[in-house]
Amino acid sequence: MPNQQGVTAAEPELPAGVRAILAHTGKPRSFLREQPIQNVVRNGVPGYELSVNLTSYRALPLSCIEGLLLKVDGEDVDPSTVVLTLNGYSHKLAELASLSHVWWFILEPATLFVPSQTPLAPGNHRVDATLITVEPYVTAGRFSFYHPDSRTLAVE
């Protein structure tokens, strides 16, 4: 079996063949990255940022991002308030449908900004997230793909 150095500890439940493919590509397909959560203020609005990856096997235009489900410490986050930042440009999730000219490449991390009047306390927080995409490369019809991920991430 190939070297599996690139496979993260969060992926042990994957079949051995899938783990081998991920190790070969060096690109984990997890939505949430292992980066700490950052309490930030953006344009005068307090909140926090999570670092995320595109889960697709190929680049996608942002118009293929159909939705996002997000919970932090068991509390639902209103997706209408979340802002995706990719390559220095920020977009509300509702704007993504019109961004067929903006591409998210699989090796480019992005951030999700969640406005919050109360900063997250230092320490560990449970994050459950599902990225919902449509893959334009699938020619058998239009299907929504759900990419769930759960992690315990620290606020430093």
pLDDT of residue 13: 67
**pLDDT less than 70: residues of the chain:** 1-14, 17-28, 141
Residues contacting 50, CB < 8 A, separation 6+: 32, 33, 35, 37, 111, 112, 114, 127, 129, 153
Residue 3 to residue 23: CA distance in whole angstroms: 6
Residues contacting 27, CB < 8 A, separation 6+: 6, 53, 106, 107
The structure tokens listed for 56 are 């697709």
Residue 85 to residue 51: CA distance in whole angstroms: 10
pLDDT of residue 45: 97
The structure tokens listed for 72 are 């932090």
Residues contacting 139, CB < 8 A, separation 6+: none
The structure tokens listed for 101 are 């000219």
Query: Is-contact 65 133, C-beta < 8 A?
Result: yes
pLDDT of residue 3: 36
pLDDT of residue 136: 81
pTM over cut 0.85: no
Residue 78 to residue 101: CA distance in whole angstroms: 26
Strand, coil or helix: what is 18? helix
| Mean per-residue pLDDT over the chain, rounded | 86
